Amino acid sequence: MSGKNVLLKSFKLAGTKDGTISVSSIDEPYGKESAAVVSIGISLKGNDEEPDWKAHIPYENLDDLIASLIEAKESVSKK
């Protein structure tokens, strides 16, 4: 990864002692002129700089991702 990484938010990962979920914005993640992404990281040890798992979501997909997350939350709330 070569782009500028800006941490936007970090919060506790439920069910863990030290785990965190981090949300970052990465410019040019795959080299010069590659499209920016949102990076969602999971760290079991609370290290937001080097998460154990991460997903890169293109900004163009954020609305669909957010709608899906809301749908998932609502489906759990109904149970």
The string of DSSP letters for 48-63 reads TTS-SEEEEEEGGGHH
Question: In the predicted model, what is the mean pLDDT of the chain?
Answer: 93
32-59, pLDDT tens digit by residue?
Answer: 999 999 999 999 999 998 999 999 999 9
Residue-range definition of the domain harbouring residue 53: 5-77
What is the domain count for the chain?
1
Q: What is the pLDDT of residue 78?
A: 76
Sign of CA pseudo-dihedral 72, 73, 74, 79: positive
